[in-house]
Structure 1
C-alpha cells in the first residue's frame, strides 16, 4: 500500500473496543476519509494526492476491515453499529490532536460519517456522503428490483453462520463478482490492481468475513432503529453537507437522493457523478471537482 500513498505514515490507535489502523498524510485542516464495503483505506488512492496538498488526510480502516481489529459482536449488534464506529473515529482523531474535522465517507463509511454528525454535532466542520442514502431509507424503499440489486443487505445480515459459511468457500471470487457488478462498466477495469489485492486480502480471513457480516446485521437492527429515532425526534445534521452519488449507483434507484438528504440535513447540496457505486475509483476527476470546492469552503 505504500506505493499507493506516497508521503504518508502509519498510525495505530487502541480505543476502548477496537484497534484502528490509519494512514496519515498532507498538510492543512484535518480531513477524515472513511471507506466502504468491501474496501479498505486503499480506495482513496486516486484522490489522496490532490487532497493532501490542502488537507491533513486521515484514512483509517473501519473496525472489522483491513488492518483494524475485529472485536466480538454483541447480542444487539451495537458493537458493529455506526454509532460505535463513529466513536472509534472520534477517538482516533483525538489521538492525532483533532477535536474538529471534516469527514467524507463512502458506502459504509458514509453511514459512519452521518451517524457521527448526528451523534456528535460539535465535531464535524462539514460532511460529505458518497453514494448512499440513510440506512432506514434504504430499508423502507426496497422494491423487488432494488432488493435484487442490493441483495447483499439481506444476505450479509442473516444470522450467523449462514453467510459466513457460504462466503468462506470462495471469498475472492465473491468479492471480484460483487465489485464488478456494482460498477458502471460491470467489470474491474476502473480499479487499481493493488487496491483490488488489498480488498481481497482484507475480506478473505474468516474473522473479517464475520465482522463485515456483523456490520450489515447492525444495519438491519441497531442502525435502522437509531435512524428512526432521529427522524421521530426531527433531529437533523447541522453542519454543511454534500451528497454525491453515481448516476448508476444505489441511491439512483431511490426516490431522489438529494431530496432525501434535504429531509436529514439543515444545509445540503448534491450532484450525480458519471459512475456506478464506486464514484471515487470510477471517476476521481469528477468526484474531486465537486468535493474540493466544498472542502475549501467549509473544512478549514
Structure 2
C-alpha cells in the first residue's frame, strides 16, 4: 500500500500492539484526544477531508478497525467473536491506553459508530463524549426490519450469510461489487485505498465476519443492555445524512437514541450516508459544535 497517495500530510503513522493484533493508526493535531473510527467498506482514509479542521482542536487518533485497512486480521471463531463490536471496542481502548490516553472523545461512522456506542456502554470511564454518524443501534435495525428497510440495507443480510458464499461472490469481482458505492463525491485517491484493501480476500472475509457478528452477538449484547435499561452515560450526538440510511427510519434518529443514552442531541447534514466525503464542511462543523460544547 506504500504506493498509494498520502492523504494525511503532516500526520504520523504507526501500528499499536493490542490483544486483537496490530492496529494501524494515523496521529496528528493538538489538544484533547479524539478517536475516529471508520465504517464499511472503507478504512481510516474516510476521515481525510475532515481531519485537518478537527486537528486544529484535537489530538487525533484515526484507526483502522481490526481486519480493515492496514490493521491485522484476527482469526475468527464460530461465534465471530473477534469481530463483535465489544471486541473491537476493547481493541480501541487498548490502543488509546498504549498512546497514553486514559479518557477521550470518540466519533464513529457506520460500523465505526457501532464500535463507538458499544465502547461507550462497556467502558463509560474511558469516554467523555461520543458522536455516531448515520446509524441507529444494531438492535433497532434487526428488530424493525421489514420489506422497505431490508431493501435499503440489503448488505446486512447478504454479508451475514454463512461463509464462504458472500466472500466468493464479492472476491470474484470486488470492483464490480464495491465500485458503485464509491460512485459520487469521493476522492479517487481515497477510492484507491479502499479498493486496494478490498482486493484482499482475507479482508473481504473480515468484513463479512463483522456483519455476522452484528447479526448474532452484537444483537444479543444490545438486547441485554436494553433489557437491563443500561444506557450510555456520557453525552451522545447523532449526525445523520439528510439522504442517508438513518434518515429512512420511521422515528427520528434522536428519538431512537434516547432509549440508549441519557443525554442525546443530534442534527442532519445535507448528504447521503458517506457524509465525511460528500459534505465534509457541514460534517466537521457538526462534530466540532458537539465536541467543543
TM-score under structure 2 length normalisation: 0.97
Find the residue that maps to 2:239 and give its secondary structure. strand
Residue 235 (structure 1) aligned with residue 230 (structure 2): yes
Of 241, 254, 269, the residue aligned with 2:249 is: 254
Find the residue that maps to 1:33 and give its secondary structure. strand
Q: Which residue of 1 aligns with 2:57?
A: 54
Residue 273 (structure 1) aligned with residue 276 (structure 2): no
Find the residue that maps to 1:3 and give its secondary structure. coil
1:179-198 equivalences in 2 (<5 Å)? 179-180=181-182, 188-198=183-193
Of 204, 211, 214, the residue aligned with 1:216 is: 211
> Does structure 1 retain, via aligned residues, the 8 Å contact 2:131–2:238?
yes
Of 277, 283, 288, the residue aligned with 1:287 is: 283
Q: CA separation in 2, counterparts of 1:250 and 1:289?
A: 20
Structure 1's consecutive aligned runs of 4 or more residues displaced over 3 angstroms after TM superposition are none
Q: Which residue of 2 aligns with 1:17?
A: 20
Q: Which residue of 2 aligns with 1:137?
A: 140
> Does structure 2 retain, via aligned residues, the 8 Å contact 1:66–1:202?
yes
Of 113, 125, 128, the residue aligned with 2:131 is: 128
> Does structure 2 retain, via aligned residues, the 8 Å contact 1:156–1:217?
yes
Q: Which residue of 2 aligns with 1:109?
A: 112
1:2 Cα shift? Answer: 5.8
| Stretches of structure 1 lacking an aligned partner (at least 5 in a row) | 181-187
Find the residue that maps to 1:13 and give its secondary structure. strand
TM-score under structure 1 length normalisation: 0.94
Find the residue that maps to 1:57 and give its secondary structure. strand
Q: CA separation in 2, counterparts of 1:135 and 1:63?
A: 19
1:286 Cα shift? Answer: 1.1
Q: CA separation in 1, counterparts of 2:12 and 2:282?
A: 27
Find the residue that maps to 1:4 and give its secondary structure. coil
| Stretches of structure 2 lacking an aligned partner (at least 5 in a row) | none
Q: Which residue of 1 aligns with 2:29?
A: 26
Q: Which residue of 1 aligns with 2:94?
A: 91
Q: CA separation in 1, counterparts of 2:20 and 2:262?
A: 32
1:36-87 CA distances to partner (integer Å, 9 max, x unpaired)?
0000000001100001111000001000100001111111111100000001
1:272 Cα shift? Answer: 1.2
> Does structure 2 retain, via aligned residues, the 8 Å contact 1:141–1:254?
no
Q: CA separation in 2, counterparts of 1:5 and 1:13?
A: 18
Q: Which residue of 2 aligns with 1:159?
A: 162
Of the structure 1 ranges 71-80 and 106-115, higher mean CA displacement relative to structure 2 is found in: 71-80
1:225-246 CA distances to partner (integer Å, 9 max, x unpaired)?
0000000000000011100001
Q: Which residue of 1 aligns with 2:202?
A: 207
1:293 Cα shift? Answer: 1.8
Find the residue that maps to 2:288 and give its secondary structure. helix
Q: CA separation in 2, counterparts of 1:2 and 1:224?
A: 37
> Does structure 2 retain, via aligned residues, the 8 Å contact 1:28–1:54?
yes
Q: CA separation in 2, counterparts of 1:236 and 1:225?
A: 15
> Does structure 2 retain, via aligned residues, the 8 Å contact 1:7–1:26?
no
